[in-house]
Structure 1
Amino acid sequence: MVIALGLVLAPQAALAIDPPWGQEQKLRDRMVLESTKVCADGKGHYTVLVPRTPEHDGAMYYGDGKMFTQVPALDYLSETEGGFFEPRFFNPKSNENFRGVDYRVVSFLKLSDDFKTCTLSCGEKSLPQQPVAAEQAKELLRKSSFQASPVKFQPYALLRDDKGTYYLVERGMGADNKSFRIFTGQRGQVKQQKMLNVVTDSQGEIFSTQGGDLRLVVDREEPSFWVVKSKRQKLRAVPVGENLPFIYNELGVYTGARLGTPCDDV
């Protein structure tokens, strides 16, 4: 089973967080900062790689040198490489199912073994970066603020009718996994609908407007459908994991949006 990672911007501002090294009061915190690498693109953007160590699980951040946003990274973060979910940039040459992850929608920050060169890969695009000297990097990070990722939802279900109207269901992540958002419309023109989640069980979900004139029924086994008053329109399920680049680049929900990754400014 391939893990279909997906992220959606939250409507509220991201929360401020502490960096992994905190106030550097403990030796292990200082060791985390010492192991952290920073790469710059020469245009005022920086990517921070905190490798996995016995002292820390690892992390990635992206920002302008004053504010850094946490990048949801893959579990494996070494001293020279960090991967992160980036559905807007597709690499057909990557493995579509490596340990359950579709690497075609994963981008990377990679440093040479001697830390003298750095490259940001966004899909098939390879962008040279400049490693920031260790002391300069530490000074930069100590003066910066940090915030959580702005993405709080992920694509949950994608449906369409025989006229090309799409129905995207997003589900909240983590503690917000009982929250849903619904978008409908033609490709490139989808709009959010004000709908309530009235049923969630093992067989699917039912969403409805306040007055019940509109309903979206997402079924696990039977065909899903869209209801306008009493008229039903059968819907075809479109696999989310196989259509992430389409969802993020063409559907219209994320047009012009920033996902808080190093590929935002590519």
Structure 2
Amino acid sequence: MVIALGLVLAPQAALAMDPPWKQEQKLRDRMVLESAQVCADGKGHYTVLIPHTPEHDGELYYGDGKTFTQVAPVGYPDSKEGMFFEPRFFNPKANDNFRGMDYRVVSYLRLSDDLKTCTLSCGEKSLPQQPVPADQAKELLRKATYQPNPTKFQPYALLRDDKGVYYLVERGIGADNKSFRIFTGQRGQVKQQKMLNVVTDSRGEIFSTQGGDLRLVVDREEPSFWVVKSKRQKLRAVPVNENLPFIYNELGVYTGARLGTPCDDV
């Protein structure tokens, strides 16, 4: 199963990539293009759903018709529905643990059985969309450029002290999983700290400024703590998965960030 985790928009622009149908030289590539469903919101935004087949895992894209960004799907899209991780929009009525996935932070694009209407769900919001006719959709998709999802980091650990100061650790995704970023501050006012990862092992991580005046110790068994020179401040661990809407909407790290999903412009 393809599952997207919490993501953070990278500051640099994503590089261009080939479309999923490549140059349409092979039959299977042409079939991928033929299977694509495109829905429009009437405001210049398009969501592309490419269903899962034995030859293709299925994909989602979102963009303005000229450039489409890859959206990491939750599960495998089919011909009528594609789901994606969207922590900014919370649906309390959804299943909080289905096969290990919290669907309260999952949104989706869904087509009607007759493929004549689309609905974009962003949490509890349902937004009507209109399918783009097949010939127009193929012309649109052929002319567009494509880019991978530009997100590079995800929330890894969240801690706070007894004065309400939060400490968020982000970890890089995929090949960047040895990279970390640290943010500290009151809710809505967190700032990135220039800290080095000096220890990573099965018990946790230690981060430090260049001179060692500030340190953050994230421990998996013992209490974590923040060190200013020689003074320690004990920290309480806050479960990341249970607090994703808070992290994305209230903490301040992601305020105004685009996550590359169809809910970016809602």
Both structures adopt the same fold (TM-score exceeding 0.5): yes
Q: Unpaired runs of 5+ in structure 1?
A: none
2:170 maps to 170
1:124 maps to 124
In 2, the alpha carbon distance for the partners of 1:76 and 1:7 equals 19
Tell me if 1:181 matches 2:181: yes
Q: Percent identity?
A: 86
Deviation of the 1:150 alpha carbon = 1.3
Structure 1 residues 79 and 4: alpha-carbon distance in aligned structure 2, compared to 1, 3 A threshold: closer
2:86 maps to 86
Q: Unpaired runs of 5+ in structure 2?
A: none
* Correspondence 1:1-266 to 2 at 5 A: 5-266=5-266
Matched residue SS, 1:139: helix
Q: Is the 8 A contact 1:4 1:101 kept in 2?
A: no
Q: Is the 8 A contact 1:4 1:241 kept in 2?
A: no
In 2, the alpha carbon distance for the partners of 1:134 and 1:257 equals 32
In 2, the alpha carbon distance for the partners of 1:90 and 1:80 equals 22
Matched residue SS, 2:25: coil
Matched residue SS, 1:61: strand
Deviation of the 1:13 alpha carbon = 1.2
Q: Is the 8 A contact 1:89 1:123 kept in 2?
A: yes
TM-score by length of structure 1 reads 0.98
What are the superposed Cα offsets for residues 130-171 of structure 1, whole Å, 9 maximum, x if unpaired? 000001000000000000111111100000000000000000
Paired residues, number: 264
Q: Is the 8 A contact 1:159 1:166 kept in 2?
A: yes
Matched residue SS, 1:260: coil
CA-atom RMSD in angstroms: 0.9
Structure 1 counterpart of 2:194, which letter? K
In 1, the alpha carbon distance for the partners of 2:10 and 2:233 equals 30
Deviation of the 1:55 alpha carbon = 2.2
Structure 1 residues 169 and 159: alpha-carbon distance in aligned structure 2, compared to 1, 3 A threshold: same
Q: Is the 8 A contact 2:4 2:72 kept in 1?
A: no
Deviation of the 1:262 alpha carbon = 0.3
Q: Is the 8 A contact 1:5 1:241 kept in 2?
A: no
Q: Is the 8 A contact 1:4 1:102 kept in 2?
A: no
Q: Is the 8 A contact 2:36 2:50 kept in 1?
A: yes
Structure 2 counterpart of 1:14, which letter? A
Deviation of the 1:259 alpha carbon = 0.5
Q: Is the 8 A contact 2:83 2:108 kept in 1?
A: yes
Deviation of the 1:14 alpha carbon = 1.1
What are the superposed Cα offsets for residues 219-240 of structure 1, whole Å, 9 maximum, x if unpaired? 0000000000000000000000
The structure 1 segments of at least 4 consecutive aligned residues displaced by more than 2 Å after TM superposition are none
TM-score by length of structure 2 reads 0.98
Residues 5-14 or 55-64, more deviating: 5-14
In 2, the alpha carbon distance for the partners of 1:80 and 1:4 equals 20
Deviation of the 1:76 alpha carbon = 2.0
Q: Is the 8 A contact 1:185 1:191 kept in 2?
A: yes
Matched residue SS, 1:242: helix
Q: Is the 8 A contact 2:120 2:128 kept in 1?
A: yes
Structure 2 counterpart of 1:98, which letter? F
Deviation of the 1:11 alpha carbon = 2.1
Matched residue SS, 2:175: helix
Q: Is the 8 A contact 2:4 2:84 kept in 1?
A: no
